[in-house]
Amino acid sequence: MNDVVDSGVKPGFCIRCGASVKLAIPKGDNRLRRICIDCDFIHYENPKNVVGCLLEWQGKVLLCKRAIEPRYGFWTLPAGFMENQESTIEGAAREAYEEATAQSDDLRLFSVYNLPHISQVYMMFYGTLKDGFARANEETLAVDLFHQSDIPWSELAFPVVTDTLTRYFETNEQNKKGVYCADILSRPGEPLQIVRHRD
Amino acid sequence: MNDVVDSGVKPGFCIRCGASVKLAIPKGDNRLRRICIDCDFIHYENPKNVVGCLLEWQGKVLLCKRAIEPRYGFWTLPAGFMENQESTIEGAAREAYEEATAQSDDLRLFSVYNLPHISQVYMMFYGTLKDGFARANEETLAVDLFHQSDIPWSELAFPVVTDTLTRYFETNEQNKKGVYCADILSRPGEPLQIVRHRD
């Protein structure tokens, strides 16, 4: 019943005809939706996917220092909102290029994180940083390659980044990569609250 | 540049202020977006997730006969659009209940399908049909449990359903369940066009 909280903006008008919208439960539905009072168009809102990747080169992992809010100045794995008409893997590769001028090889799905409190799903891939090349651009203050022992754990931007890196190094040690699923319930800067799904 | 094709409706007005929108590339972006000519609000559009599940009971799989378009009268696995403020697994369980009055146990992620031509991502889970109980409701003409040998292959609603079932029985035989990723490029009724990702 509260699926309209998360849009970031209160949609007050119909995208189709410009009339006002009301909050109501459509026939055959069980949730409040924004419905046009004039043309009856229903404005469904759904979770957004964030796709990203962990790229490795000679035992080091690529991180980017964010040049944009939220979490300006913190380190992150390249990731961003998936676009229409692309696949998750294409989106992850695109984000690596947009945020770190990095090309990726052999991307495979590594983790799926639900962030229900902000209606997002993260899908993180792992692969190889092509030619070991990356360069900062307008979305990043810096890019760098980090050995496991040098990861700036206290300066990571998001719980998803912390957990993806943690899990990646664990699975390296175990020499066992599957797809890992979890719910993350905490916000950046808060103590990590995570519910790991069964393997 | 063509990420605005898929919304199902041409948004002509701003959801925030009701003024007209124009198609333009925002500063720092590289795609056409619908931007309000008055308040400059940018209307991002992103892929939607469809979550569903394959529920087994005593060696049989639960299928539902669709009572709604598209693919009215065809058989499907319970699945539908993920809602805000839920996890993928919660969404899959909800759909099983809404479409088949079915409760599920031990859901685990089974497959991730990209359908870039319609800007959707399917995430299918597998698990147990609780107490073997399911019942048709307003979204379904019938529900039934099928042995592998009885699956109505020619009457399945969507390529994702066909491929999830195929892959499920394969992995049963191999006694090996991982998470399986693929791009599906064909539409219902067309010959299956699928690009399987590397395991």
B16 touching chain A per CB within 8 A? yes
Distances (CA, A) of A58 to A17, A33, A128, A148, A169: 55, 50, 9, 12, 14
Question: Which of A84, A185, A195 is the best substitution to test chain B (most B C-beta atoms within 10 A)?
Answer: A84
What tens digit of pLDDT does each residue of B28-60 get? 899 999 999 999 999 999 999 999 999 999 999
Residues in chain A closer than 8 A to B112 (CB atoms): 88, 109, 112, 123
What tens digit of pLDDT does each residue of A102-151 get? 999 999 999 999 999 999 999 999 999 999 999 999 889 999 999 999 99
The amino acid present at A199, given as its one-letter code, is D
Please state, as a whole number, how many other Cβ atoms lie within 10 Å of the Cβ of residue B115.
22
The end-to-end CA distance of chain A, in Å, is: 31
Mean pLDDT of chain A: 92
Residue A192 has pLDDT above 90, yes or no: no
Q: What is the four-CA torsion angle of A151, A164, A192, A82, rounded to 10 degrees?
A: 120
More confident residue, B9 or B17: B17
User: How much of chain A, in percent, has pLDDT values that exceed 70?
Assistant: 94
What tens digit of pLDDT does each residue of B111-162 get? 999 999 999 999 999 999 999 999 999 889 999 999 999 999 999 999 999 9
Residue B85 to residue A116, Cβ atoms within 8 A:
yes
A105 touching chain B per CB within 8 A? no
What is the DSSP secondary-structure string of A152-195? Answer: -GGGBS-HHHHHHHHHHHHHHHHT----EEEEE---TTSPP-EE
Query: So what's the pLDDT on residue A11?
Result: 64
What single-letter DSSP state applies at residue A62? E
**Residue A19 near residue A37, CB atoms below 8 Å:** yes
Q: Report residue B127 CA to chain centroid gap.
A: 17
Distances (CA, A) of A8 to A44, A49, A100, A126, B35: 14, 15, 27, 30, 16
Q: Based on C-alpha coordinates, what's the Rg of chain B?
A: 19
B196 touching chain A per CB within 8 A? no
The CA distance from A70 to B120, in Å, is: 27
Where are chain A's structural domains? 1-45, 48-196
Phi then psi dihedrals of residue A133, to 5 deg: -100, 130
A105, A106, A122: which is closest to A114 by C-alpha? Answer: A122
Average pLDDT of span A66-82: 96
Choosing among 3.40.50.300, 1.40.20.10, 3.40.50.720, 3.90.79.10, the CATH entry for A48-196 is 3.90.79.10
Chain B (164-193) residues lying within 8 Å, Cβ to Cβ, of chain A: 178-179, 181, 183
Q: Report residue A118 CA to chain centroid gap.
A: 11
Residues in chain A closer than 8 A to B41 (CB atoms): 9
Residue B89 has pLDDT above 90, yes or no: yes
The CA distance from B25 to B7, in Å, is: 17
What tens digit of pLDDT does each residue of A53-64 get? 999 999 999 999
Phi then psi dihedrals of residue B38, to 5 deg: -105, -60
Query: So what's the pLDDT on residue A1?
Result: 31
CATH architecture of residue range(s) B1-45 = Single Sheet (2.20)
- Residue B68: partners with Cβ closer than 8 Å, 6 or more residues away: B139
A23 touching chain B per CB within 8 A? no
Helices (H) and strands (E) in chain B, counts: 2, 12
Sequence-ordered alpha helix ranges (H) in A16-107: 88-100
CA A135, A139, A144, A147 dihedral sign is negative
Query: So what's the pLDDT on residue A118?
Result: 96
Give B84 to chain A, closest Cα distance, Å.
5
What tens digit of pLDDT does each residue of B94-111 get? 999 999 999 999 999 999
Query: So what's the pLDDT on residue B11?
Result: 64
Residue A3 to residue B88, Cβ atoms within 8 A:
no
Phi then psi dihedrals of residue A65, to 5 deg: -95, 120
What tens digit of pLDDT does each residue of B176-199 get? 778 999 999 999 888 889 999 877
Band of the pLDDT at A3, cuts 50, 70, 90? Answer: very low
Query: So what's the pLDDT on residue B2?
Result: 34
Question: Which of B15, B89, B119 is the best substitution to test chain A (most A C-beta atoms within 10 A)?
Answer: B15
Band of the pLDDT at B92, cuts 50, 70, 90? Answer: very high
Give A12 to chain B, closest Cα distance, Å.
5
CATH topology match: A1-45 vs A48-196 = no
Residue A85 to residue B138, Cβ atoms within 8 A:
no
Partner residue opposite B84 with nearest CB, options A10, A28, A119 = A119
Query: So what's the pLDDT on residue B191?
Result: 87
Distances (CA, A) of A137 to A52, A152, B28, B41, B101: 17, 21, 11, 25, 51
What tens digit of pLDDT does each residue of A162-175 get? 999 999 999 988 87
Which token pair is B42?
């940018």
E strand or H helix at B168: helix B159-174
Burial of A153 by CB count in 10 Å (0-12 exposed, 13-18 middle, 19+ buried)?
exposed
Q: A132 — alpha (psi -120 to 50), left (phi > 0) or beta?
A: left
Query: So what's the pLDDT on residue B7?
Result: 46
Question: Which of B50, B68, B87, B113 is the best substitution to test chain A (most A C-beta atoms within 10 A)?
Answer: B87
Partner residue opposite B2 with nearest CB, options A6, A10, A85 = A85
CA A42, A185, B88, B98 dihedral sign is negative
The CA distance from A111 to A168, in Å, is: 9
Which token pair is B65?
């006969």
